Structure 1
Amino acid sequence: MRARQLTWAEEQVDLYHYRTKDKVEVDAVLENRRGQVVGIEVKAASTVRPDDFRGLRHLADRLGDDFIAGIVLHTGTQTLPFGDRMRAMPVSALWEVG
């Protein structure tokens, strides 16, 4: 996601990258004006493993109820649950009309 694409959103959000001193990271962190957060990881793989959610789970633990969802975008075709507020989604879903 590019910062320029944030202008497409109905809700104003800020885009961040998250990394701890222990190198736990999340590729993109979107935060709205109420402090609610969605974390996004991007993987160049068609399969997703629980370990791919490591950074997202860390962020969820730190933020509690302000963490809305964690999403791992992948090159596969299925949307799969990976626990509370965690989903793996195909990157192609970004261009699908709901």
Structure 2
Amino acid sequence: MPKLYHFRTRTGQEVDLAPEWKGRVVGLEVSRTLAPRGFNGLKVLRALAKDRFLRGVVLYGGEEILAVEKGFYAVSVQAVWRFAS
């Protein structure tokens, strides 16, 4: 079962949820809108976790699922409901 963490540095960079499972870490950030700064904490987590970092996801209030850059995705809240249907 994954261990659930909140990630925050001493300088205030954070990620809302950072589950760890089998030695790999995923960063999950929740945001009303999609903006480049929404990935800042995820990039810090990736740098610190190194090879253990699997991917970073911003869950946002838009409508699309986007591959933002290698290992970083934006997923609409609506998409979560579509998976549940």
TM-score, scaled relative to structure 2? 0.90
Q: Number of residue pairs matched?
A: 84
Normalising by the residue count of structure 1, what TM-score does the alignment of the two structures yield?
Answer: 0.79
Over 4 Å off, 4+ runs = none
The alignment yields a C-alpha RMSD, in angstroms, of: 1.4
User: Structure 1: any 5+ residue segments left out of the alignment?
Assistant: 1-11
Structure 1 residue 41 and structure 2 residue 35: aligned? no
Structure 2's unaligned 5+ residue stretches are none
Q: Which amino acid aligns with 1:69?
A: R
Q: Distance in 2 between matches of 1:66 and 1:37?
A: 6
The answer to whether 1:96 aligns with 2:66 is no
Match of 1:86 among 64, 72, 76: 72
- % of aligned pairs identical? 37
User: Residue 18 of structure 2 aligns with which residue?
Assistant: 29
Higher relative contact order structure (alpha carbons within 8 Å, sequence separation ≥ 6): 2
